[in-house]
Structure 1
Amino acid sequence: MALGASAAMIATPAVVADAAALTVRSGMAISIDDTVVTSNSCTLGAVISRTKALTAGHCGDVGRPVFDRKGSRIGTITANRVAQRLDIAVIGLAPRTAARIDPVDWNAKFDRGQLVWKSGITTGYGTGKVTDPAEVLRTSHGFSLAPPFLTRHDSYSIQTSLRSESGDSGAGVRDSRGRVVGILSSATLEGTVVVPVSRLPRALR
């Protein structure tokens, strides 16, 4: 059992820098403060507009600032659907941040054996197949450096054979045409579970 997000100790708060020269893109490393001394390292999954991006919901709560690898603030978590059993969070991008917008299939359907691929900050680029296309409620477990230490979250998701490890949470999962069709939630004993982006309410897209 492995949670896709990784928690890391930080000695000092992340540096808040001007986002004017930053380019936000899918696959980049992001850090979201968890407590005053810990942060979650995740992958930015998709830039869906000039003002919004997606990652995994368990990576951070609403209102938490989001930083890039260098500590520059790129945005804030503005919506989180974990409580609605959907492991997706929306990042409101900081003003003047350049955004490399991704193609997204908001109506994607999944078939057993379908080819999918992802790029996560830990395991990099990897391909796999859909092993169970049923969008059912699955439970993922993990570990955090902050209480309650042992964590779990439930989310409607599909099952894939993609390889993922701590830190890959939030990565965009794409179809053979390169369109984002899901957000990587976590690794389990059966494979990697992926949350379909089609379940994200239209008002949050």
Structure 2
Amino acid sequence: MGIRFRVLMTLGVSTALLAAPAVVADAAVITVRSGMAISIDDTVVTSNSCTLGAVISRKKALTAGHCGDVGRPVFDQKGNRIGTITANRVARQLDIAVISLAPRASVRVDRVDWDARFHRGQLVWKSGITTGYGTGRVTDPAEVLRTSHGFSVAPPFLTSHDSYSILTSLRSESGDSGAGVQNSRGLVVGILSSATIEGTVVVPVSRLPRTLR
């Protein structure tokens, strides 16, 4: 299945999101938590629907890098602006993006294992906006460069990117991109990138530079 998910929106909805004054959105008290649905504008009439993977501090959260470019605003399901993508490592072969959260956001910070190591058969779980909660096992713990393919509703239509990742048996579908992957202790160890015929690809958070955490 594709790894870049673009949801065609009506022009009216898209315009409303773009036109909403940032000061109004920032004034609202918004709860930000891992597993929630997020929307990131891609073009005037399209938006990427993804999952917020981990809230790593009161100011930062993570999702998949292919979900949006640096500078793109990030919205919740109600259209409230919860932050902005301020770093994206997908061009550097790491499918992770950093979201700087709105100052007045009420956040639920996750526990993260920044030094996590993986082994074959290890139990992991995730909560995505499409397939919900699910458990799986690490099937290939090697952190190697893997190519993922996807689609879009705008040119070039077929997309692909490379990312250092591991393989798991987690079930995932369109929209689950960006979901946090946790170990048996409930610590976030990776970000869900895509699904392939071999399994679901997960990017280790340990590869994210310290300066972006």
- The alignment status of 1:7 with 2:4, answered yes or no, reads no
CA contact (8 A) 1:4 1:164 kept: no
* Structure-1 residue corresponding to 2:92: 84
The residue number in structure 2 matching 1:31 is 39
Unaligned runs of 5+ in 1: none
Q: For 1:21 and 1:9, how far apart are their aligned partners in 2?
A: 26
Q: Report the Cα distance in structure 2 between the residues aligned to 1:180 and 1:58, rounded to whole angstroms.
A: 19
Q: What's the TM-score once normalised by structure 1's chain length? A: 0.97
What does residue range 1-205 of structure 1 map to in structure 2 within 5 Å? 1-3=1-3, 5-12=5-12, 13=15, 14=17, 15=20, 17-19=24-26, 20-205=28-213
In terms of fraction of residues, the more helix-rich structure is: 2
Q: Which runs of 5+ in 2 are unaligned?
A: none
Instruction: Render the CA deviation track for 1:30-62: whole Å, top value 9, x for unaligned.
Output: 000001110000000000001000000000000
Cα pair 1:6 1:42 within 8 Å, conserved: no
The residue type equivalent to 2:25 in the other structure is D
Q: Is the 8 A contact 1:31 1:42 kept in 2?
A: yes
Query: CA separation in 2, counterparts of 1:77 and 1:150?
Result: 23
1:8 is displaced (CA, Å) by 2.7
- State the alpha-carbon separation in 1 of the partners of residues 46 and 4 from structure 2: 16
Contact 1:29 1:68 in 2 (8 A): yes
> Distance in 2 between the 1:3 and 1:108 partners?
24
Distance 1:89 1:136 in 2: 19
| 1:67-108 Cα distance to aligned partner (Å, 9 max, x none) | 000111000000000110000000000111111100000000
Q: CA deviation at 1:162?
A: 0.2
What's the CA shift for 1:9? 2.5
Query: Post-superposition shift, 1:4?
Result: 6.0
RMSD: 1.1
Q: Which amino acid aligns with 2:153?
A: L
Letter in 2 for 1:105: D
The answer on whether the counterparts of 2:58 and 2:101 sit within 8 Å (CA) in structure 1 is yes
SS in 2 for 1:96: coil
Letter in 1 for 2:149: H
Q: TM-score, normalised by structure 2?
A: 0.93
Q: How many residues align?
A: 205
Alpha-carbon distance, 1:138 to partner: 0.4
